[in-house]
Every structure is written in C-alpha cells, then in structure tokens.
Structure 1
Amino acid sequence: MKRAYVAGTFDTKARELLYLRDCLKRHGIDTVTVDLSTSGAKSPAEADIAALTVATFHPLAAEAVFTGERGSAVARMAEAFSTFVKTREDLGGLISAGGSGATALATPAMRALPVGIAKLMVSTIASGDVRPHVGSSDIAMLYPVTDISGLNRISRRVLANAAGALAGMMRAEPLPGEDEKPAIGLTMFGVTTPCVQMVTSLLQDRYDCIVFHATGAGGQSFETLAGSGFFSGVLDITTTEIADEIAGGVLSAGPGRLDAFAEHAIPYVGSTGALDMANFWARETVPTTLAHRQFHIHNANVTLMRTTAEENSRIGRFIAAKLNRMRGPVRFLLPMKGNSALDAEGKPFFDEAADQALFTSLEKDFRGGADHRLIKLPHHINDAPFAEALVKAFREITEMP
C-alpha cells in the first residue's frame, strides 16, 4: 500500500498540515505525517514520524540538526529528510506546505525521489523563481495566494486542491505505451527543432525517444537520467546551455554540463546546436553592460544574444575538454553552415567568423581516437543530411553490425 507523506513544521503549521492529511484521507489515500520542525521541541502526537526520528538520518546524528541557529538547522534537517524518504518503501507521494523555510526543508527530499513519484509543494514563493527548489525533478509547485497561516476560505480551498492533485497523481497510470523499447535522450531548442524532429522520426521505430528542452533545468534532467542508467545512448544535439554558462545567460545548466558522460560510459553523439546564442528574459532585464551586443527578441519574455568569436573559442575549449574525458564512445558532429535557425545565411545571427572560432577551438583541443571522433559536415544543423548523419553516427556506436 503506497501512502502519501505529509511533511512540514508541525510546531508552526500543524493545522494546515493536518488539514491536508484529512483531505487526502477523504480521497481514500492513506497518509503518514512527518514533523520537520527544527526547534528541538517534542513533536505533537499527530505527527506519525517525529522530528527527532528524521534528524537521526543526518550523517552526523540528530544532535547536528538541532543547532539553535535557523539556517544551519533547516539545511541539516533537509539533508536528513532527503535520506529518510529514500528508506520508505511505502512512500507513493510527498506533499508539504509553507513558506521559504518549509520549501527549503521539503524540496530537497522531493528531488531525491525518483521521477514519477508524486511530489507537490504548496509554497508562498511558488510565483517567483523556483528553479533552485525544483531543479531537475518533477515537483509540482502551487502558489497558495495567501500565507500558510491558519485556515480560511481561501487556504482551505487551495489546500484541498493540493490534496486532490496529489491523490490524482498517486492514482494516475500512463496510457499503454512502448516501454519495451530502449530509451534514448535528445536535447532540443526551438531553433534546432527541425533537426531533432527528423532524428526522432528516423529512430522512433526502434527507440523510445525522450526529448529535453535545453533550458538549464532540461539539461540537468537529461544528465541526471543519463547518469542513472536510464538511457542506452544519447543525442546531445543542442548544447546551448554551455553558451549561457560562458556568456552569462540565464539558462545555464551549470559548469557540470557534460560531466555525466565522463562519469558513466554512455554512448554519446553531440553537436553544437544553438551555441550561437545566450538567453535572457525580457529585453529590459538584460544587463546594461551588454547593451552594445547583438540581440534578437524571441518573444516578450525571451531575448537572445549572439555569442562572439571570443566566447565561441571558450565554448569550444570547454566542450573539447569534456569530450576528452568521456568514458564511452563519442561522435561529435559540426554543422559547418550554421548552428541554429537564426544562424544561417540571411538570418539575424549568421556570423561565419564566430562559428569558425567555435569549430577551430574544438578541433584544436579535441583528442581523437578509434572511439572518439569529431566529424565536420558541410551542412546546416537543420538540414536533412545533417540529421541523417547524426542518426548514422548513433547507430554506429550503439547497434551491433
């Protein structure tokens, strides 16, 4: 029997957490209540799992959690709770509610759970930047409109919706699919969509093609699943998040992008998709220090900045260093006529010198071998022959003759 775990600070949010519990029970979902209070006070009887019990899962023991200093206590309880949830075989869903502190306590444990287990955070900061809390996981965030402070006509409705959503997620089963096919991961951006769609159409009869939007969190999710052995191979066509890391854009996946393939021997086919651009939000949010740069308004909320030759040289060195460390077979394909829909002759970001700086840097630093190859092709990334070459390279390193 899978149960919904209702977790939070029972010293301050007991009424709201118990209301969530009761709503879940009304939906026929068995529950386990977990106290995450960091005050050190005894947990109330309504908490099935006491805060002290959770704290014992910290690697330095419970005493390390109850420090008397809120910041360190929250961080250490979150660490303990992340370990705790992985030991619970009956956990079928996890829900919490509160402000920034409760969000910091509960979401690391949610991120520690496998993809597919229901996770819902009712948070007063859910209308802001939740990327640090959601990360590369499938956490549902719900903004409660009012503070999580007592029960009223608004909070009761929102919390009831949250409980209903978690109950629905716990009961939901995907429609019959083709899970028997081996899974492969692909990365895509709007400006590389034609390429990725052609690749998937050529491979979908044999593989379950799982596409990730290269928006920072997308690349992190892609690599998390790759590192867990989820994929039999990957086609990392759109490495644009590295441009954001180098050029200061807002969609970086961090300096660890590509590291999963150095740590795990996964067949890897990659390319330079959308490395001609770094991403920012609405035009007025772009730092004034970049006012002299070349921009393209993608939409009202997204502004693209053309990467320079100097930045592309750095990007090339970054990628080559990562490719050289990869443990599995590697094929990295260079589209010599452009890296995105905007980087083609007559398009706003067409810059042969900047592209050549990228390709030259990659070629200079890349260490080739029988199983590690850099391949130059006289095509644009969205040309059909380039997509076909990606598929050919993938089959070469993953399929038996």
Structure 2
Amino acid sequence: MTVVIVGTLDTKGEEIGFARDVLEAEGVAVHVIDTGVVGDPEFEPDTSASEVAEAADTTLGHLREEADRGEAMEAMGEGAAAIVKQMHESGDVDGVLGLGGSGNTSIATTAMRALPVGVPKLMVSTMASGDVEPYVGATDVTMMYSVADIEGLNQLSRKVIANAALAMVGMVSNEPDVEVEERPTVGITMFGVTTPCVQTAREYLEDRGYETIVFHATGTGGRAMENLIRQGVIDGVLDVTTTEWADELVGGVLNAGPDRLDAAAETGTPQVVSTGALDMVNFGPRDSVPEEFEGRLFHVHNPQVTLMRTTVAENAELGEVIAQKLNASSGPTALYLPLGGVSMIDVEGEDFYDPKADQALFDALADHVDTDVVEMVEMDAPINDEAFARAMAEKLHEFMQTAGRSPE
C-alpha cells in the first residue's frame, strides 16, 4: 500500500516528516510530493516542487520570481493533481494525505479531487471547522480539524497528525467488505418535495436489475452526479429534480453551477429529465434571505431552510435555459412535464400552487425545445403521481435497452 502525502516541505517539513514516519512504522509505503514554493524542502521529497510546477506547465523559478501567492497556489494545485492522477492510473497510489493551512489545503485537496470516489482522501487542516465546500467540492474528501495551527510538533499536534496517519493506514490497508454487483447504474436527483416520484421510479428500475444512486439536489449533489457521469460511473440519468437551476438563475444557496445538465448531454448518456422543484429557490433561515426578495412568497421548510416561490418571469427563463441544455444532447433524451404541479407544495391547496408560473415554464420549454433532439411528453398529473413517475422510469428503461445498457 502506498500513501501520497502532499505538502509544503519548506514550511511544514517537520510535521510531514512525522506523518511519514508514522505511516512507515505501520508498514505503509509513502510518497511525498513537495508543493512548497518559497524555500528549500526540509528533506528530500519523492516528487520535487520543480516537478510539480512543470506538471502545471510552469517553472518553480517563474513562480518564485513572480511572487504571486494566488498564481503559485493555483499552479501547484494543478501540478499536484496531474501527478497524483497519473500515479493512480499507474496503480501507484492507494490514498492521499494532506497537512496544512489554507494554502496547502487548497493545493492538496485540488489533487484529491482529481481522484475517483472511493480512493481514501484525508486533509488535516486549520480550515476544517469552517466552510469546507471549496475544498471538498463534490468528492469524498475527509476533512480533519487540526485544532492548533500546523506549526511545529507538540503534544497536541503529534496526537492529531498521528491519528490522521493511522486513519490512512486503516483506510488503505483494509478493503471494504462491500458487495459490488456489475449492474447498469442510474443516477436520480431528488428533493424532499419530489421524494414520492423518485421512490416509485427507483423501485421500478431496481426491479428490472438496475442499480440506482440518488443525489440530493443541493448543489453539491448535482455536481457530484455530473462528475460521476463524466467518469462513466453512471450509465443512465433520471433527472427528476432540476431545482438547482432555479437557485443558479435567481441567486439561491443550493446552485450546482452553470454546467448543470451538461454531462449527460455531452457524453451521450441516456437521460429522462423533468422539472422537479423548479417552483422554489432555496435560502437558509428566514432572516438570512436577502432584502431584495422581501415581499416574495416564502415557505419555511424547517428552521434552517426557507423556500421562495419562483415567478412567472423566472419560470419562463428557466424553461429557455433548460431547453438549451437539453438541445445539446448527443444521446437519447426525453423531457417529461408534470402539468399538475412540479413539487409536493405546488399542487392545489398548497403554499406554492401557481398555475400561471408553471404554465410559463411549460410554455417556454415547448417554445425552445428542439423536438428533433428531445422527446417531450406532457402528462396531466403532478410530479409525485405514481403514473408520472412510472412513465419516466419506463422511458429511461426503453432508452437503456436501445443503447445496449440495460441489465438484460
């Protein structure tokens, strides 16, 4: 087993050397990648800072001369990622460990995010008790708070770093006893307000031999699914819940970025898409909603989540954007429209029931979808209706059969 340690040996050499010694004492091989730019390493690394810089199409001399910390961090992260990815493809890395403050946390986690889900990734960081989304992204990076700054060895830092090293020993030395069946895998997006639809569709697909992976459409969930589509982990997509585009367009907190809906289109992955939860934009507690939205219709989902109803104009724009995304598809694609409501609270008698807003969404989709590329199906039912969910699942199964990706 080999653990790669990514760190700045000019400033954290003592601590990285200690982690290396703990790992080696447990019989684990270690490969140290130096990402330090300013000074010389405290010990000879296995991969030098010069090699890391060159992997990012620059030189260590240039980075030192420019003395631009931002440029240096970006370059060393890019270089470390390229090296770690190549090592993994060659079978030379079983896990990655990082130690550092904000700078090396950025560099090391950039390298970690280049590796597939399932490869152990552990970052000991002074930044781990705050917002770790920029470091973790949509991957399985584990963040461990260092408590004290990683500056010298003491009774506290020795214990924390040793625990991290031993955690890596456990992860790389023990193959998880998880039964893995080689079955076609379908990615499904879900929100609480689209759960019944997803449950019905998932049951239908699993009964026909598919493995399903459900992603919570919270921004990172959508990005995770997009990444796994590109990696070839996901063979088909049931994109029930495209709500992340509402947050991207209007300014909510659960957006998945402007690339959402691109992966399946670009890779030709069979996909069946719907308009789940496009009636809402997500914010945190009610008092965290920006003042610009005062006067809008809100629904307090729980003390930590406030939902805001999308307007007629916003729905029209959402329809146009989603149509453009789907029109770029290179594989079998269908769009299912639930004319009876796009979420659990967008039906008659519920807070977000607004037929005019929904109609603006459906009209925009009808106006902009290229029906030579996208099969569009309208059903006079709410999204959580059993017949609607089953129809979507049946269509995806049909696509998967045609594409040679079904279990049969």
Q: Same fold (TM over 0.5)?
A: yes
Determine if contact 2:271/2:333 at 8 Å carries over to the other structure. yes
Q: Does the alignment pair 1:320 with 2:328?
A: no
Q: Does the alignment pair 1:195 with 2:197?
A: yes
Does the C-alpha gap of structure 1 residues 176 and 121 become closer, same or farther in structure 2, counting only changes over 3 Å?
Answer: closer
- AA in 2 matched with 1:132: P
Aligned to 2:76: 77
Shift of 1:46: 4.7
- Of residues 363, 368, 393, the one that matches 1:365 is 368
Determine if contact 1:178/1:208 at 8 Å carries over to the other structure. no
Q: Does the alignment pair 1:103 with 2:105?
A: yes
- AA in 1 matched with 2:49: A
Helix, strand or coil for the counterpart of 2:307?
A: strand
Helix, strand or coil for the counterpart of 2:282?
A: strand
Determine if contact 2:194/2:384 at 8 Å carries over to the other structure. yes
Aligned to 1:25: 24
Aligned to 1:50: 48
Helix, strand or coil for the counterpart of 2:121?
A: strand
Helix, strand or coil for the counterpart of 1:151?
A: coil
Aligned to 1:298: 301
- AA in 2 matched with 1:339: V
Q: Does the alignment pair 1:243 with 2:242?
A: no
Moved more, 172-181 or 388-397: 172-181
Determine if contact 1:277/1:306 at 8 Å carries over to the other structure. yes
- Residue-by-residue CA offset, 1:179-207 (whole Å, 9 max, x unaligned): 21111111111111111111111111311
- AA in 2 matched with 1:60: T
How do 1:160-239 residues align onto structure 2 when only pairs under 5 Å count?
A: 160-205=162-207, 206-239=209-242
Q: How far apart, in 1, do the equivalents of 2:108 and 2:369 lie?
A: 42
Does the C-alpha gap of structure 1 residues 178 and 379 become closer, same or farther in structure 2, counting only changes over 3 Å?
Answer: farther
Question: What is the number of equivalent residue pairs in this alignment?
Answer: 398
Aligned to 2:161: 159
Moved more, 354-363 or 26-35: 26-35
Q: How far apart, in 1, do the equivalents of 2:8 and 2:302 lie?
A: 41
- AA in 2 matched with 1:20: A
Shift of 1:55: 1.9
Determine if contact 2:37/2:60 at 8 Å carries over to the other structure. no
Helix, strand or coil for the counterpart of 1:12?
A: coil
Unaligned runs of 5+ in 1: none
CA RMSD after TM alignment: 1.7
Aligned to 2:377: 375
Q: How far apart, in 2, do the equivalents of 1:392 and 1:304 lie?
A: 31
Q: How far apart, in 2, do the equivalents of 1:174 and 1:335 lie?
A: 41
Determine if contact 1:65/1:77 at 8 Å carries over to the other structure. no
Q: How far apart, in 2, do the equivalents of 1:147 and 1:118 lie?
A: 23
Shift of 1:235: 0.5
Aligned to 1:115: 117
Moved more, 16-25 or 119-128: 16-25
Helix, strand or coil for the counterpart of 1:186?
A: strand
Determine if contact 2:297/2:308 at 8 Å carries over to the other structure. yes
- AA in 1 matched with 2:313: E
Aligned to 1:136: 138
Q: How far apart, in 2, do the equivalents of 1:296 and 1:125 lie?
A: 33
Shift of 1:178: 4.1
Q: How far apart, in 2, do the equivalents of 1:374 and 1:209 lie?
A: 24
- AA in 2 matched with 1:326: S
Determine if contact 1:107/1:134 at 8 Å carries over to the other structure. yes
TM-score (norm 2): 0.93
Q: How far apart, in 1, do the equivalents of 2:276 and 2:174 lie?
A: 36
Q: Percent identity between the aligned chains?
A: 47
Q: How far apart, in 2, do the equivalents of 1:220 and 1:373 lie?
A: 25
Q: How far apart, in 2, do the equivalents of 1:94 and 1:239 lie?
A: 33
Helix, strand or coil for the counterpart of 1:42?
A: coil
Q: How far apart, in 2, do the equivalents of 1:190 and 1:154 lie?
A: 42
